[in-house]
């Protein structure tokens, strides 16, 4: 199916497939290509409307009878670390952060394979080879960084985040880490460090992807103070996570044409100087 707005990007819908987060449900995505000279403006605008980037595609869940997936971000100014998160930062004091251009390396791929084999062996990325991994890291039409975490003094690569720099924050596109270091809570630590990076750069938000009530895989995101979710066409402060229901309903999602019509697109007209 194809849906368009006049003089705007074309939007498409994927065929339904099993949901990776909630058993017995079907997933469908609304997506558009991210390309051309206005790619950064489009990425900024759609990220603020609950979309996520994967290589040169922007997508958002658009399931026929379920609206459980909610885009989540942390309001950096409202964040206060919990006692547990402070302990996580203390445990990882030996990690050194290194920010690089989006180039894939053999060490990154080896860590990525260990992570998938240990935590997501039956997931959609389980069969990703080194070339597909390189494409995930390197095929970006916008300002992206690979942020590596090196354990000192041994120099072991323990965590990696592919991170986009938006006009209003950092978007953690995909992260992975050493599965044998479970006690270090590396996933939580990388989010905490991105909050610190955003603070240093005066960026107001850290985008975390989707939070799914009822999914254990996504439960950790609700433990960050200052969390906001994109619901009803606007960002709202996370209240009680238990108040969100993952129940399905045939009227949970607006028709595709209506969704596309309600998307706000950036002004890409050239500016003329007098």
Q: What is the mean pLDDT of each run of 10 residues along the chain (274 residues)?
A: 60 92 90 92 96 96 88 97 97 96 97 88 76 96 97 93 98 95 93 98 96 82 94 89 73 82 80 48
Cβ(190)–Cβ(157) below 8 Å = no
**Domain co-membership, 183 together with 143:** yes
| Number of independent structural domains in the chain | 2
> Is there a domain that residue 271 lies in?
no
- In terms of domains, do 85 and 192 share one? yes
Question: Rg for the chain (alpha carbons), in Å?
Answer: 19
Q: Do 170 and 54 share a structural domain?
A: no
Note whether 104 and 177 are same-domain residues: yes
Residue 142 main-chain phi, psi, to 5 deg: -125, -175
Residue 210 sits in the same domain as residue 104: yes
Same domain for 179 and 141, yes or no, is: yes
**Residues 6+ away with beta carbon under 8 Å from 133:** 104, 108, 109, 112
Q: Would you state the pLDDT for residue 242? A: 81
Could you say which DSSP state residue 7 is in? T
Question: Looking at residue 21, what is its pLDDT?
Answer: 85
pLDDT for 2 equals 57
**Contact (Cβ atoms closer than 8 angstroms) between residue 158 and residue 95:** yes
CA dist., res. 222 & res. 70, Å (int): 11
Question: What's the rounded Cα separation, in Å, for the pair 239 and 161?
Answer: 28
pLDDT at position 241 is 82
Tokens matching residue 7: 């003089």
DSSP 132-156: HHHHHHH--SS-EEEEEEEETTTTE
pLDDT at 192: 98
Residue 6, domain member (yes or no): yes
Whether 228 and 110 share a structural domain:
yes
- Starting at the edge strand that comes first in sequence, how are the strands of the sheet with 2-4 ordered? 2-4, 10-13, 29-33, 57-61, 52-54
Please report whether residue 155 resides in a domain.
yes
88 and 54, same structural domain?
no
Is 109 contained in some domain? Answer: yes
Q: Is residue 267 part of a domain?
A: no
The answer to the question of residue 268 being in a domain is no
Which single residue is written with the structure tokens 């206005």? Answer: 38
Torsion angle (degrees, nearest 10) of CA 162, 92, 99, 114: -40
Which helix (H) or strand (E) is 201 found in, with range? none
Are 118 and 217 members of one domain? yes
Residue 83 shares a structural domain with residue 180? yes
Q: Is 181 in the same domain as 141?
A: yes
The reply to whether 152 and 229 lie within a common domain is yes
**CATH, residue 234:** 3.40.630.30
Please state the pTM of the whole predicted model: 0.90
Q: Is residue 255 part of a domain?
A: yes
Is residue 92 assigned to a domain? yes
Distance of alpha carbon 54 from alpha carbon 205, whole angstroms:
19
Domain residue limits at 91:
73-243
């Amino acid at each position: 199916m194809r849906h368009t707005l006049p003089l705007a990007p074309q939007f498409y819908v994927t065929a339904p497939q099993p949901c990776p987060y909630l058993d017995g449900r079907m997933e469908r995505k609304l997506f558009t290509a991210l390309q051309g000279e206005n790619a950064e403006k489009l990425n900024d605008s759609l990220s603020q409307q609950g979309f996520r980037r994967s290589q040169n595609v922007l997508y958002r869940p658009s399931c026929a009878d379920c609206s459980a997936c909610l885009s989540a971000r942390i309001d950096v100014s409202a964040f206060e670390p919990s006692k547990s998160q402070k302990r996580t930062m203390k445990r990882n004091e030996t990690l050194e952060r290194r920010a690089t251009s989006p180039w894939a390396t053999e060490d990154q791929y080896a860590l990525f394979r260990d992570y998938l084999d240990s935590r997501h062996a039956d997931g959609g990325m389980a069969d990703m080879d080194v070339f597909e991994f390189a494409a995930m890291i390197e095929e970006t039409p916008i300002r992206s960084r690979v942020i590596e975490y090196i354990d000192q003094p041994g120099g072991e690569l323990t965590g990696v985040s592919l991170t986009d720099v938006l006009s209003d924050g950092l978007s953690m596109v995909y992260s992975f880490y050493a599965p044998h270091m479970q006690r270090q809570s590396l996933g939580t630590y990388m989010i905490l460090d991105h909050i610190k990076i955003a603070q240093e750069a005066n960026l107001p938000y850290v985008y975390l992807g989707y939070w799914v009530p009822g999914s254990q895989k996504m439960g950790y995101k609700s433990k960050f103070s200052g969390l906001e979710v994109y619901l009803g066409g606007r960002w709202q402060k996370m209240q009680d996570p238990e108040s969100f229901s993952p129940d399905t309903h045939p009227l949970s999602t607006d028709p595709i044409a209506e969704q596309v019509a309600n998307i706000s697109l950036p002004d890409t007209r050239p500016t003329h100087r007098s």
